Amino acid sequence: MDIWLPAYLRQQPRERQETHLVLTVCDHFEPFHDTDQAGALKAMHDWHEGWTKIASQYRDSGGNAPRHTFFYPIEQYEPQVVDSLARLCHQTSSETEVHLHHHDDTPQGLLQSLEEGTRQFAEHGLLSRDAEGKLRFGFIHGNWALDNSDPRGCNCGVNNELGLLRSAGCYADFTMPSAPHRTQTRTVNSIYYAEDTAAPKSHDMGLPMKANATASLRDQGNHLLMVQGPLALNWKKRKWGFMPKVENGELSGANPPTVMRLELWEKFCPSVQGGPAWVFVKLHTHGGISRNYDMLLGRPMHQFHQQLREWASAIPGMNFHYATAREMTNMIHAAEDGKTGSPGDFRHYLFRSNSNNAG
């Protein structure tokens, strides 16, 4: 908490106004967690059964179904499992991005892993492409250790990871927040460009994205866009009766989404500075683990989608939009370019899905 609390205390909660709230769930999706291929395929069966029901029942303010973004570990590639995941994504407008666990790696090893992993995913119709046709991807680092940021010196090994990710086609990183882990950055509740300094944890600080001011950084290979989720103190949930609990946007079996949490996300999640009142709520989960996906596919998530629509309908001027990580990034860049109106109009602004089923 000593890392991030000062920045949090300097931040003012957002006052409610006419708002478009963009909701994205970034899943550190590990179906091989503590299991074998049979267990991973069972997890995929459960997701096919449960997620298609959710996607068919609920709609956002623009009539779009819930989306889910599966950040699948490229080091755990297995064709049958990824094929099942691709079919689920294509059926439900969900998407798959890149997750990676590595240790004592080298720049060459990282680039080889990214090249092979993205090629394999693209063969399943996954990931996205930019206007020049280059393969692009979102990224989450395993064990939170982006850019060799673990103070123990483990779970990465590559000090210039941000620049290498960018050169390999990464359009944004979605790893943060990692609190209470020590890899947490001093920057919180922000959308910003982090410059690769060739030192560990280059993303600790960066340049906040601003409308009509920072778009030139998209083309600078030493800067990577960082999209953070919420990090706040929840005074309505207390530990030992008096200590506020930390809200870090995690969805788990023990901590399902609720309207109470949603109201914190609305107050503290970032917008593009000087841009429209579009609030970008990036949540995270580990949805390949049954104790979590039982919640994500079960009654608590059904209740949340019902309550979300009721909550938004009761607030004048409130609209909410389900989005994948790619769609959210497109909306973010549209705001950076001074676009206004509904963020839902900009789902394919810069990066289009590699799937033939993209809308």
Domains of the chain: 5-353 (3.20.110.10)
pTM check: above 0.85: yes
Contact between 231 and 188 under an 8 Å Cβ cutoff? The reply is: yes
136 Cβ contact partners less than 8 Å away, ≥ 6 residues apart? 127, 128, 129, 130, 169, 170, 171, 351
Residue 121 pLDDT? 98
Question: Which pLDDT band holds residue 64 (cuts at 50, 70, 90)?
Answer: very high
Kindly state the average pLDDT of the residues 73-81: 98
- The region of weakest confidence among 182-191, 205-214, 239-248 is 239-248
Q: Is the pLDDT of residue 39 over 50?
A: yes
Q: What is the model's pLDDT at position 359? A: 36
What confidence score (pLDDT) does residue 139 get?
99
Mind listing the pLDDT tens digit for each residue in 189-224?
Answer: 999 999 999 999 999 999 999 999 999 999 888 999
Residue 206 token pair = 């960066």
Rg (CA), the chain: 19
Supply the pLDDT for residue 220. Answer: 84
Contact 26, 65 (CB under 8 A): no
pLDDT band for position 235 (cuts 50, 70, 90): confident
Instruction: Give the pLDDT band (50/70/90) at residue 357.
Output: very low
Write down how long the chain is.
359
What confidence score (pLDDT) does residue 221 get? 81
3-state helix, strand, coil in the chain (%, to 5): 35, 20, 40
